Structure 1
């Protein structure tokens, strides 16, 4: 029920009842203003986008603190979500004042260089940050804090062909970076490039995770944290616990590394790789990696790109989606396809290869295709 009445003081009072039959009223100097406000509010009630007017007065910062505290996240996921939210220019703005235009302007700003970076962020990075913000606003909508989700209809930069902007080093580049890396850290790089381990997984590898006879490397933990103070072993990412069948040559490299440098043992186990008295973590591993890559002009590459190198090698060798999924520790095959579909041969490639095979079955050699049997 909605109504507008003129008060004895000359003001116009607009009233309506919300979905829980609670009355709300506002006073206006002009009837037209009262009618416009009443129309807006009643439309929200009918369409299910109405929220308690006071609910959205908290800031994004306050809501993220409240919402993130009840999420079942690994520490790394929390840090990624926090980075996305705090990178917005509307972090301290009220939830009910953040518009789709605000979000679109934020997305646009990420495509441009600024005082902290020389170039804009990759399209995939922008998409990831937007996804965290979208989850945050959806949760706010479900909690009755806002009526609409401002991230819903935002245009994101297009990904490269095949849906990926990933960098994949060449075999020559991997050879070069191994040649200039710190001799001890070389093993870290090899585990990423030839077993597809994530940074945290390589840092968390123990000698007991390696079966030298069966030639397997098992991922049973990962090290999370960016400093020695907060680095700690944790369970692998969901679906990432796995056993990887690796090359006999990699097993040989691991054996040689242990023979030369030994291992570090503590109450948690025997660690294959350590940084002095500490475990490797994002900060220290990143430091050694940057030192190596700068010497061979690979400034744009990250340690994670070595994992892409491993995946591309599996795909080039004819491994199917499920095989690659298990080797990389993806929780579902769809994640593998979404990430690496552009590396698998498409229908055109298969048609071309089939045509070549068909011709090879007819002609003894390429030269015979245009060889006649003689002149008339």
Structure 2
């Protein structure tokens, strides 16, 4: 292996060279390159020991270029010119092979990366204008703002990886405006207790406990389907979420960790535990701790297709055609909030990866300052007027009979 060159930099005159006469005095004479090509040559050696050379007509231009390179090396923004020629598409192909994505994430990343209009643009040439044109093309294609935001964030993760790998000096997607994602309270459907009761009554015997898990423990579809016997502690009245079921490529069933790594223990109401106990006894789930609570065909539990069929049947029976299974999770969250649970408690129960997600989704359900002010004023009014509205003799309201 060849020795690594020392880092050095400088500007040299190609047209003249210095020699020493017999008295060892320096003499400036024309070189063999005199009058040929550009006079000034700037060169530097990078961190990997590779030498880079560029010619200039004027010495000031050569020195300015070299100063910029040196400053970039000092500040950590230096990019090897050869690396900067790598295109977005080629970088993504190489980078994606090193990622530990689950199937769904890989599909989403590939979809986003393949949708850009700058695949063949060299990373060093990427500008915010490229990103803006891509965003505009998605808007023109009538994609939903939420879809555009998801694809943008996925592509941005690629660009940030390029910055970390010193393929890009800066993230060109920074400060690029996106179409506004409008969140309306009307978009969230929260079933009433009467509707949830109708769903439980309309469920087939093998599906009733599943509906209960979504409505009274807030489990996602994949989390409820992946429950095993060992995940339910009837003595401690707890349900442990350890895994989820996902379908890969539309048919293969995968068992993996919960969304956002949201393993958690949920305090379970006694009514839900009774449902689960009856389900276990009726369907002979058994005592094997690794047995699925909702066994499907073969060795796999239920999945999106098998649950979807049962949910549509239940919804039809209950006369609730517009409800989604995920709306039961909103029902659970709204119940916790109405009971006075704080943000962190709700976040942990639902398995959100941050309290910010909980607030973004359910902030409109928490009492705001106006609600608290109104409630406090009601209390003050009741206390202050308790005696004022009664006579001294019989303590009956003064205005009674008026």
Which residue, 186, 195, 207 being the options, matches 2:229? 207
Greater shift in the superposed pair: 215-224 or 277-286 = 277-286
The alpha carbon displacement at 1:175 in A equals 5.8
Cα distance in 2 for residues equivalent to 1:41 and 1:175: 75
Query: Is residue 94 of structure 2 the alignment partner of residue 66 of structure 1?
Result: yes
Which residue, 142, 161, 176 being the options, matches 1:154? 176
Which residue does the alignment assign to 2:293?
272
Greater shift in the superposed pair: 49-58 or 85-94 = 85-94
Q: Is the 8 A contact 2:248 2:254 kept in 1?
A: no
TM-score normalised to structure 2 length: 0.69
Q: Is the 8 A contact 2:343 2:355 kept in 1?
A: yes
Query: Is residue 233 of structure 2 the alignment partner of residue 216 of structure 1?
Result: no
Deviations 1:113-161 (A, max 9, x none): 65xxxxx3353x5444433322221111110111221221211333446
Q: Note the 1:285-364 alignment, pairs <5 A.
A: 285-286=307-308, 289=311, 296-298=320-322, 303-364=325-386
The alpha carbon displacement at 1:249 in A equals 2.4
Cα distance in 2 for residues equivalent to 1:305 and 1:4: 75
Which residue does the alignment assign to 1:85?
113
Q: Note the 1:6-85 alignment, pairs <5 A.
A: 15=42, 17=44, 20=47, 23-25=51-53, 43=68, 46-47=71-72, 48=75, 49-85=77-113
TM-score normalised to structure 1 length: 0.73
Aligned residues: 358
The alpha carbon displacement at 1:310 in A equals 1.9
Which residue, 86, 106, 111 being the options, matches 2:134? 106
Q: 1:4 to 1:282 in 2, by over 3 A?
A: farther
Q: What SS is found at the alignment partner of 1:244? A: strand
Cα distance in 2 for residues equivalent to 1:87 and 1:173: 42
Structure 2: runs of 5+ lacking an equivalent = 1-9, 16-32, 391-396
Larger Rg: 2
Which residue does the alignment assign to 2:23?
none
Greater shift in the superposed pair: 324-333 or 19-28 = 19-28
Structure 1: runs of 5+ lacking an equivalent = 115-119
State the superposition RMSD in angstroms. Answer: 4.5
Q: 1:204 to 1:255 in 2, by over 3 A?
A: same
Cα distance in 1 for residues equivalent to 2:167 and 2:253: 36
Which residue does the alignment assign to 1:281?
303
Deviations 1:198-256 (A, max 9, x none): 23211210122223344322212222433686423334456522221122222233234
Q: 1:288 to 1:197 in 2, by over 3 A?
A: same
Q: Is the 8 A contact 1:99 1:150 kept in 2?
A: yes
Which residue does the alignment assign to 2:6?
none
Q: 1:22 to 1:341 in 2, by over 3 A?
A: same
Cα distance in 1 for residues equivalent to 2:201 and 2:118: 46
Which residue does the alignment assign to 1:167?
188
Q: Is the 8 A contact 2:266 2:349 kept in 1?
A: yes
Structure with the bigger RCO (C-alpha within 8 Å, sep 6+) is: 1
Q: 1:15 to 1:93 in 2, by over 3 A?
A: same
Q: Is the 8 A contact 2:85 2:122 kept in 1?
A: yes
The alpha carbon displacement at 1:67 in A equals 2.8
